[in-house]
Structure 1
Amino acid sequence: MKHIVTVQDAVTAFADFMEPTSAELDAIELESPVILAEVDLLDAQIKAMDRPANEVDARRIRRALNRVLAARRDLVNRTATTSLPGGAA
């Protein structure tokens, strides 16, 4: 007979090591405007797939794409002027 046992000890044994560090959380927070803009773009593209192409959907996608590009530009400009700890030079 085979015994069924839980693996909770093995799963929770590494819980402390699996948490994101504060540096990783800061990076996510810094990139969150880009992530949100990309989600909006994906939503607009998904909405446009359900029906025939029209001008309203094209305008919605174009505006969402412009928001993604602006968020990426802002992120690059913000990180270009900031020196990150542990970096060279």
Structure 2
Amino acid sequence: MSDIVTVQDAVTAFADWNEPTEAELDAIDREMPVILADVDLLDAHIATLDRTPTELDERRIRRARRRALAARVDLVNSIDSGVVA
């Protein structure tokens, strides 16, 4: 019985050329407030999946939605004004 082997490297997912660049990491850092606000919004929605939302749940969702929108507006405004924090 002969073994079947690959011709290329065993794992290409960890190749040096496959790492994010500094520019990509900076873009992720700039977008992190939007990402975190979206996670909070998803958490608020997930909490109400198995039950009827209460008034408190609805307020939590509204607040999370406003925070997500505000984070997006801040990101767009910082890009438009040329101030990339």
- The TM-score, its normalising length taken from structure 2, stands at 0.85
- Structure 1 residue aligned with 2:55: 55
- Displacement over 4 Å in runs of 4+: 4-8
Q: Which amino acid in structure 1 is aligned with residue 33 of structure 2?
A: P
- Structure 2 residue aligned with 1:69: 69
Counting matched residue pairs gives 84
Secondary structure of residue in 2 paired with 1:60: helix
Aligned identity (percent) is 65
Runs of 5+ consecutive residues of structure 1 not aligned to the other structure: 85-89
Deviation at 1:51, TM superposition (A): 1.3
Indicate yes or no: 2:58 matched with 1:79.
Answer: no
- Structure 1 residue aligned with 2:24: 24
Distance 1:58 1:13, change over 3 A: closer
Deviation at 1:24, TM superposition (A): 0.3
RMSD of aligned residue pairs (Cα, Å): 2.4
Secondary structure of residue in 2 paired with 1:11: coil
Task: Tell me the distance in 1 between the aligned counterparts of 2:41 and 2:48.
Answer: 11
Greater RCO (Cα-Cα under 8 Å, separation 6 or more): 2
Q: Which amino acid in structure 1 is aligned with residue 24 of structure 2?
A: E
Deviation at 1:53, TM superposition (A): 2.0
Runs of 5+ consecutive residues of structure 2 not aligned to the other structure: none
Q: Which has the larger share of helix?
A: 1
